[in-house]
Amino acid sequence: MEKPLLIASDIDGTLLTTDNDLSPRTASVINRILASDTPFVLVTGRPPRWIPPVASLAGLSGYAVCANGAIIYDIAASAVVSVHGLEPMLLHDIAHTLQSVLTDTHLATEWAVVGPYDGGITFATEPGFRNPWGDAETNYRPRAEVLGKPATKLLVRHEKMTSTEMAMAARELLGDAVDVTFSTNSGLIEISAPGVTKALGLAEVASWAGVAATDVVAFGDMPNDIEMLRWAGHGVAMANAHKLVVAAADEVTAAHDEDGLALVLERWF
């Protein structure tokens, strides 16, 4: 493609190294991109509260697409500017339907409201919910409370199944009533409102910047990146990417620990 007018990148397994750092080579090319006034957009499954440390590492102050496309977050203003959510009635219906097949699961929800983020709690977890990354972030509530307010994402955890297995079962049960994806294969699926994907959120940000999809290059490594890579003019999978992501990409670069993102972007910046 010609020199891209917007760069979009997943964070974990793509932009950052395994030890959650930004390599000097990747940091250098991002600096050159920003100096050229080309937007560099983080597009992630992470909630807004997990964005500032990454933005600080990379020197970013624009928009971030969070919660797999459900939230647009203004980094500089520390504010949520757009939300696509799941209503409580639908959340309860999803949980009831999944329970018939995916027993022994624990649920969590993420939520957001448009406006400044004050650092308050924006998630709820059932007792027993532990995410695959092993951090201790919890806000234990009964299931009725977990599902009792509009959510940007429903997380379903099963410690004895793979995410691939869970996603197959959930899609068969739920059909097109919701969007089901995953960003790790360690027994966690992420459920959003129908049609809400990273592609939707990135398209929203690109439209604000006046950039067409054909002028976007996007990077990712897990199934929650597939729609974004297909939407972008040039979709790049990391060498460490899930096989479904590799199949959806226009190009495969080196792994995230081998400066794969920088290797591609150095063609133009």
pLDDT per position as a tens digit, 61-86: 999 999 999 999 999 999 999 999 99
CA 122/CA 42 separation, integer angstroms = 20
Residue reference for tokens 């995230």: 256
Mean pLDDT of the 88-114 span: 96
Residue reference for tokens 């490594």: 221
Cα→Cα distances 64→41, 67, 198, 219, 260, Å: 6, 10, 11, 14, 21
CA 115/CA 161 separation, integer angstroms = 37
- Domain boundaries, given as residue ranges, for the chain: 6-83+197-265, 88-192
CA 36/CA 225 separation, integer angstroms = 26
pLDDT per position as a tens digit, 157-210: 999 999 999 999 999 999 999 999 999 999 999 999 999 999 999 999 999 999
Identify the CA nearest to 170 among candidates 224, 108, 219, 97: 97
CA 177/CA 94 separation, integer angstroms = 9
Cut 0.95: pTM above it: yes
Whether residue 136 is predicted with pLDDT greater than 90 in this model: the reply is no
CATH fold for domain 88-192: 3.30.1240
Instruction: Please give the pLDDT value at position 137.
Output: 84
CATH number at 6-83+197-265: 3.40.50.1000
Instruction: Please give the pLDDT value at position 211.
Output: 98
Instruction: Please give the pLDDT value at position 142.
Output: 97
